Amino acid sequence: MAQIDSIRQLFFEKGLGYAEIARVTGFDVKTVKKYVHMEDFNQPLPKPRQIRGSKLDKYKEQIDEWMVADKQERKKQRHTARRIFDRLVKECPGFDCSYRLVADYVSRKKKEIYGEQDRFYMPLVHIPGEAQVDFGEADFFDKNVRCTGHYLNVSFPHSNVGYLQIFKGENMQCLAEGLMDIFAHIGGVPTRLWFDNLSPAVKTILKADGRELTDTFLRFKNHYGFATAFCNPGRGHEKGSVETKVGYHRRNMLVPVPEVDDLEAFNRRLLEECDQDMVRPHYLKRRLHKDLFEEDLKALLPLPPVPFDASEIKVVRTNSYAKFTLNKGKHTYSTAPRYAKSQVFVQLTAYDVIAFDENYREIIRHPRLYGDYEQESMDWLPYLTQLSRRPAALKYTGIYPMLPQEVQVFLDSCSYQAKKETLRVLAQLSEKSSFSKAAEAVRSVILHGARDAVNGHLRIPFFGHEKSPRKGRRVYEQELCISSYLLYASLSWCMLRYGYSSFHSHRLRWLMPSPVVQGDGVFGNYHL
């Protein structure tokens, strides 16, 4: 990828021709033309492969723990490879790995954990169409849970116009998706982007202020065609425009602490607020920001014809509970019972973690977890069907405390067969709408008189009316006891009544005296 990037720089930035580039790089002219006109830099999906194990695998978690803990200690008081090997021999019965195997792993891990400090440079001349990029931190409430947000700021020094997007992390997916959303919103790509010390972009600092960029960032950079510049560490004034914008955005758009239900929707609103913020004069040029920004817009590069996929694909293995872990085992995600102890593909975006089977069919989608502490995202829906076959385990799962209290009481008192049927219907309703709506529908049925009969079936009193030529309208109570289909009928009424996704009315036709649903909560001549 670095060679492709070099060829494109020689053509687009240095202005060299195909033949000259071929002479300089040693590539064939046809190869040079191919890379110059290349438009799609998306990474192809990896092929399923068998991950070879190592005798050291079961000890790596312990090694990582020691080395991470060392980050808090003096450099000369950290574990060496020899010390780690000696501790493994002493503290781990049955350890039979060689010192060389341990030393090779420790050497690779040290580069990952301790890495060198990044250094950058930055020009100070700003022309229309160029932008600066930096992250800031600000809290927000995500569904009433306080989170530390990392908001991406893009500032155009020429016009002093800025945009921001907030995420829960500061990884490559957050950087790329934030920039892409801003590019799409303004309808173009800055000609040059200036960055600070961003680890998602820079892999290694080379001599003479050179940089080895990460593969994903290189693909992203070439896909959109912008040039890059990096400032020196500790020299925030080299990108003073965005440094100022970080504070401005926090004070004016993130105060008071935002309450967010949908982070993607909130980010779209932030872009609109930034547009509205342009209607004010520039602090020096005495012109409106929006007028100056028109000059920036004219200088932008066009958007590429092919969308860029900034996600990361991993191959993971699930445990006996059909769960897998990310972030060094700290973040746990569920799949479905059928995928226990199997290999699955995982796609990481800024917002989501999506699991796929071996044919890239989606299994489940989770909100992506962030933070350097143990967390778990558990979707119980795929487990409900399995649980309905073995309902005795209900109270020992995470599903039980998620149920309303009335439903818990009913399930505790009903028969084994009635419990199986209730959980089965709960699973089907959850699939059609959501678990919370399905649970509320069951609760509503119980609150309307559902109770367990002697034989263990769900019984619900129906209150209705009937016209009589001689006696007129009379009110009576009829108690039905039909096991599973009665539950279908009752839940269907609740879902109609409360706006949930309903079952088809034809399921009710043999249950009720009249097959016609006549309105809100009315089945034939019965009123619930």
> Using one digit for the tens of pLDDT, what is the confidence trace for 217-232?
999 999 999 999 887 6
pLDDT at 74: 66
Per-residue confidence (pLDDT) for residue 455, from 0 to 100:
39
- Under 8 Å between Cβ of 35 and 219: no
- 57 assigned to some structural domain: no
Q: Report the pLDDT value the prediction gives residue 58, as an integer from 0 to 100.
A: 87
The pLDDT of residue 124? 52
Query: Helical H runs in 78-214?
Result: 81-91, 99-114, 172-186
Q: Is residue 24 part of a domain?
A: yes
Say if residue 158 is in the same domain as residue 286. yes
Position 437 in a domain: yes
The predicted-structure confidence for 498-507, as pLDDT tens digits, reads as follows 444 433 434 3
Same domain, 506 and 438: yes
Whether residues 220 and 339 fall in one domain: no
Q: Is the pLDDT of residue 518 over 70?
A: no
**116: pLDDT confidence band, cut at 50, 70 and 90?**
very low
Domain boundary among 322, 353, 379: 379
CA–CA dist 265, 255 (Å, integer):
18
Q: What pLDDT digit, counting tens, does each position of 28-75 carry?
A: 999 999 999 988 888 877 777 666 778 888 899 999 988 888 877 767
**Phi/psi-derived region of residue 521, left when phi > 0, alpha when psi is between -120 and 50, beta in every other case:** left
In a domain, 49, yes or no: no
Query: What is the rounded distance in angstroms from the CA atom of residue 228 to the CA atom of residue 180?
Result: 16
Q: How far apart are CA 88 and CA 366, in angstroms?
A: 37
Residues 199, 326: one domain?
A: no
Domain annotation covers residue 243: yes
* Contact (Cβ atoms closer than 8 angstroms) between residue 324 and residue 344: yes
Q: Residue holding tokens 């990029």?
A: 133
Give residue-wise pLDDT tens across range 469-491. Answer: 444 444 333 333 333 444 555 55
The answer to whether residue 61 is domain-embedded is: no
The predicted structure's pLDDT at residue 161? 94
The answer to whether residues 357 and 363 touch, using CB atoms and an 8 Å cutoff, is yes
SS3 of residue 348 by DSSP: strand
Give 363 or 209, the one with higher predicted confidence. Answer: 363
386 and 365 in one domain?
no
Positive or negative: CA dihedral 104, 105, 109, 110:
negative
Tokens of 250: 């926090």
Phi, psi (degrees; rounded to nearest 5) at 277: -75, -10
DSSP symbols for 304-326: PSS-----EEEEEE--TTSEEEE
Measured between alpha carbons, how far is 212 from 204 in angstroms, rounded to an integer?
Answer: 5
Domain-ending residue, one of 242, 274, 299: 299
Rounded average pLDDT over 87-92: 92
Q: Are residues 473 and 484 in the same domain?
A: yes
- Structure-token match 């769960």, residue found: 323
Strand-pair category, 192-195 with 227-230 = parallel
Q: Average pLDDT in the 152-177 region? A: 94
pLDDT digits (tens, 9 = 90+) for 261-285: 999 999 999 999 999 999 888 877 8
Average pLDDT estimate for 136-140:
92
Whole-number pLDDT of residue 210: 74
Same domain, residue pair 108 and 148:
no
Domain containing residue 135: CATH number: 3.30.420.10
Residue with more model confidence, 331 or 430:
331
User: Using an 8 Å Cβ cutoff, are 298 and 326 in contact?
Assistant: no
Q: How many domains does the chain have?
A: 5
- Which structural domain, as residue segments, surrounds residue 321? 312-379
- pLDDT tens-digit series, residues 285-328: 878 989 999 999 999 999 999 989 999 999 999 999 899 999 99
Averaged pLDDT of the chain: 80
Residues 454 and 415 in one domain: yes
Same domain, 25 and 108: no
Cis peptide before 128 (omega within 30 of 0): no
Q: Is residue 509 very low, low, confident or very high in pLDDT (cuts 50, 70, 90)?
A: very low
Q: Are residues 416 and 281 part of one domain?
A: no
Q: What is the mean pLDDT of residues 379-392?
A: 82
How much is the pLDDT for 494?
52
Asked whether the predicted pLDDT for residue 248 surpasses 60, the reply is yes
Distances (CA, A) of 280 to 40, 277, 288, 420: 39, 7, 5, 64
Last residue of a domain, one of 363, 379, 395: 379
CA distances, 133 to each of 120, 136, 194, 241 (Å): 13, 10, 6, 9
Q: Is 260 domain-assigned?
A: yes
